[in-house]
Chain A
Amino acid sequence: GAVVSQHPSWVICKSGTSVKIECRSLDFQATTMFWYRQFPKQSLMLMATSNEGSKATYEQGVEKDKFLINHASLTLSTLTVTSAHPEDSSFYICSAREQGWARAKNIQYFGAGTRLSVL
């Protein structure tokens, strides 16, 4: 199956610093990538949709200036958490949708996730 790599898998940072998370589709091209956040014992919450070469679309309640998304190529999207605070501590997961037949059925392939801990 298609592989999505997410890096780093775990990051600890001080309050006020920025953290960048990378999401790469390793063996396919992804016009669209998605970013989710998951708190303990809860389901995934969609934060934003990232389209290659255009601005991301953010879900209601997600601050676009705080969660910067860049999708500069068909295989890479990045999420930058700016001026992180302890309440931003969470599990961040990206997914990528493959072009072609899988796109028609919206099969998304997920990265392993990034555990962010803000001190």
Chain B
Amino acid sequence: LAKTTQPISMDSYEGQEVNITCSHNNIATNDYITWYQQFPSQGPRFIIQGYKTKVTNEVASLFIPADRKSSTLSLPRVSLSDTAVYYCLVGDYKYYGGSQGNLIFGKGTKLSVKP
């Protein structure tokens, strides 16, 4: 599993765009990049996943350069409710019947949105 590195914390203000970058220099060909959001005392919530280029959904955008050694989660116009920890995960998905496909969580980025 590729190791990921992301900033420990970030601060922002309501209405701003927030970009959280994750480094994964050892990403493998079969790896997808997935981002989760976690609020205190709750389970993580899937935000977005991508393999290359750009992916956009109703919540966020994910930018992945051609070398795939990093990725950037973009949250448009954040609000106070976006204050949470954001995890970047990279994993491969080979299947041999009971293969695991484990997700290994790093420390994540604690985003604090201020009014």
Contacts and interface: CB of A to CB of B under 8 A. Distances in A.
A28 to B, nearest CB: 13
Given A43-B87, A57-B100, A91-B41, A108 B46 contact: yes
Contacts, number: 67
A interface, over-half SS: strand
Interface size class of A (residues with CB under 8 A): 20 to 34
Nearest to A55: B98
Interface string A75-100: 00000000000000001011101000
A112 B108 contact: no
Contacts of A108: 46, 103
Given A93-B43, A105-B93, A113-B41, A43 B105 contact: yes
B108 A106 contact: no
Nearest to B50: A105
Contacts of A93: 43-44
Most B-side CB within 10 Å, residue of A34, A44, A95: A44
Contacts of A104: 93, 95
Contacts of B108: 43
A51 B95 CA distance: 13
Contact of A54 (B49, B98, B104): B98
Given A43-B87, A106-B34, A106-B91, A32 B43 contact: no
Given A32-B101, A49-B100, A107 B34 contact: yes
Contacts of A115: 41
B102 to A, nearest CB: 6
Contacts of B104: 46
B42 A113 contact: yes
A68 to B, nearest CB: 19
A36 B38 CA distance: 14
Interface in B65-108: 87, 91, 93, 95, 98, 100-108
Given A49-B100, A103-B93, A110-B36, 6 more contacts: A36-B105, A43-B87, A91-B41, A105-B34, A106-B32, A106-B91
Interface of A: 1, 4, 6, 32, 34, 36, 43-46, 49, 51, 54, 57, 91, 93-95, 97, 103-113, 115
